[in-house]
Chain A
């Protein structure tokens, strides 16, 4: 199966903008979806499709894609955005997840 590659860790100053990226061949054919996971909790969907947010997800979260790279952007990061973020997409073997990015808000 294909893989999705994410940077293990990213940091952002409070109120600034951060981009978390996800790379993989499957992203040329399928949209990525993005999940936020806080310690001890289940993942929560934050972005899906071209750039869609489920109900209740703040509009500071947005998604984009180009070629084999998908990005999750947080515009004006808040302290509560500190979490692990995972990308995911379909692939030829079923479903694949990225390894996750730990976001630290400074």
Chain B
């Protein structure tokens, strides 16, 4: 059973870069079949897809965030990461990493981590 766990700072200052890492256990990130994804949820709001990466390094981003987002993968550590640049208070949200199986459905989710953007 694939399990995911987010890690990273819970507080980021405005204009800085939000950086999160997702550690995958119970399976190899290189095994194929999954697109490793980031999703966020603003407080009291719905889910917003940020982007995903395949183990080969191919990426796909939400057009509304594309200019500020980079997702990378480290197969040696079985991890993938999110960087969101130039953050504002509007980026305050719970950030989830998830495994997007066959590019059709999010089969496995991390527990989520709250990131607050504030000075």
Contacts and interface: CB of A to CB of B under 8 A. Distances in A.
Nearest to A97: B47
A12 interface: no
**Chain A interface residue number, banded:** 20 to 34
A61 interface: no
B110 A42 contact: yes
Q: For the complex, would chain B's binding face be called helix, strand, loop or mixed by DSSP majority?
A: strand
**Chain B interface residue number, banded:** 20 to 34
Nearest to B106: A45
A48 B46 contact: no
A44 B48 CA distance: 15
Contacts of A86: 46-47
Nearest to B51: A94
Given A43-B96, A88-B49, 6 more contacts: A42-B96, A42-B109, A43-B106, A88-B106, A94-B60, A100-B47
Interface of B: 37, 39, 46-49, 51-52, 60-64, 96, 100, 103-107, 109-112
